[in-house]
Amino acid sequence: MQGMLRRLRSQPRFFLGLLIFFLFLLNAVWQLGALDGLERKAYDMRVRATVPNTVDERIVIADIDEKSLKALGRWPWSRDVMARLVDTLFSHYQIRVAGFDVVFAEPEKNSGLALMNELARGPLKNDGGFLAEYQKRSNSLDNDALFARALAGRNVVLGMVFSAGNGTDTNTAPAPFATLTAAGASALPDLPHPRSYTANLDAFSRNAASSGFFDNPQIDADGIFRRVPLFQLYQNRLYPSLALATVHMALGAPQVQLHKGRSGDYEAFEGITLGDVSVPTDAHSSVLVPWRGRHGDSFNYYSISDILEKKIPLETLKNRIVLVGTTAPGLLDLRSTPLEKTYPGVEVHANIISGILDDMVRQEPAWGVGMEILMLLAVTLITLLLTTRLAPHWQVVITLLLAGGIIGINFLAWNRGLVMPLASPLLLLLILFTYTMAFGFFVETQGKRAITRLFGQYVPPDLVDEMAKHPEAISLEGESREMTVLFSDVRDFTSISEGLSATELSALMNVYLTAMTRLIQKHRGTIDKYIGDAIMAFWGAPLRDADHTRLALLTAMDMEAELLALAQEFRARGWPVLKIGIGLNAGTMNVGNMGSEFRMAYTVMGDAVNLGARLESLSKNYGVTIVVSESVRSAVPDFAYRSLDCVRVKGKQEPVRIYEPLGLQDALSTASREQLARWESAISAYCQQHWDEAENALRALVNSDDHPLYRLYLERIAQFRETPPPADWDGVYTYTSK
For residue 610, the model assigns a pLDDT of 93
Range with lowest mean pLDDT among 157-166, 172-181, 288-297, 727-736 = 727-736
For the chain, helix, strand, coil in percent to 5 are 50, 20, 30
Residue 111 scores a pLDDT above 60: no
Most confident of 91-105, 253-267, 363-377: 91-105
**Section 380-399 average pLDDT:** 81
Instruction: Evaluate whether 486 touches 612 at the Cβ level (below 8 Å).
Output: yes
CATH of domain 456-668: 3.30.70.1230
Identify the residue with better confidence: 370 or 387: 370
Instruction: Evaluate whether 104 touches 159 at the Cβ level (below 8 Å).
Output: no
Amino acid at 390: L
Residue 482 to residues 231, 566, 587, 635: CA-CA distances in angstroms? Answer: 79, 33, 5, 11
Please write the tens of the pLDDT for every residue from 166-178: 889 999 999 999 9
Residue 98 to residues 64, 238, 248: CA-CA distances in angstroms? Answer: 14, 22, 12
What gap in Å lies between CA 136 and CA 117, rounded to an integer? 13
**Section 433-440 average pLDDT:** 80
pTM: 0.63
**Section 277-292 average pLDDT:** 94
For residue 441, the model assigns a pLDDT of 64
Instruction: Evaluate whether 173 touches 197 at the Cβ level (below 8 Å).
Output: yes
pLDDT band at 600 (very low <50, low <70, confident <90, very high): low
CA dihedral 76, 78, 80, 83 (to 10 degrees): 0
Residue 10 scores a pLDDT above 50: no
The 3 state secondary structure assigned to 63-96 is ECCHHHHHHHCCCCCCHHHHHHHHHHHHHHCCCC
Averaged pLDDT score across all residues of the chain: 87
Q: Could you give the 3-state DSSP secondary structure of residue 264? A: coil
**Section 172-201 average pLDDT:** 92
Amino acid at 496: I
Closest-CA residue to 70 (of 440, 332, 328, 385): 328
Please write the tens of the pLDDT for every residue from 240-251: 999 999 999 999
Residue 355 scores a pLDDT above 90: yes
Amino acid at 609: V
Residue 3 scores a pLDDT above 70: no
Please write the tens of the pLDDT for every residue from 43-83: 999 999 999 999 999 999 999 999 999 999 999 999 999 99
pLDDT band at 260 (very low <50, low <70, confident <90, very high): confident
**Section 199-212 average pLDDT:** 97
Residue 363 scores a pLDDT above 60: yes
pLDDT band at 9 (very low <50, low <70, confident <90, very high): very low
Instruction: Evaluate whether 698 touches 715 at the Cβ level (below 8 Å).
Output: no
**Section 349-353 average pLDDT:** 97
Residue 93 to residues 85, 303, 315, 322, 547: CA-CA distances in angstroms? Answer: 11, 14, 8, 11, 92
pLDDT band at 122 (very low <50, low <70, confident <90, very high): low
Residue 733 scores a pLDDT above 80: yes
pLDDT band at 435 (very low <50, low <70, confident <90, very high): confident
Neighbour-count burial of 220, counting CB atoms closer than 10 A to its CB (0-12 exposed, 13-18 middle, 19+ buried): middle
For residue 475, the model assigns a pLDDT of 53
pLDDT band at 6 (very low <50, low <70, confident <90, very high): very low
CA angle 548, 389, 436 (to 5 degrees): 140
pLDDT band at 4 (very low <50, low <70, confident <90, very high): very low
**Section 360-386 average pLDDT:** 88
Domain boundary assignment for the chain: 2-34+364-449, 59-357, 456-668
CA dihedral 718, 719, 723, 725 (to 10 degrees): -100
Q: What is the DSSP string of 366-415?
A: TTHHHHHHHHHHHHHHHHHHTGGGS-HHHHHHHHHHHHHHHHHHHHHHHH
What gap in Å lies between CA 738 and CA 728, rounded to an integer? 26
pLDDT band at 292 (very low <50, low <70, confident <90, very high): very high
Residue 557 scores a pLDDT above 60: yes
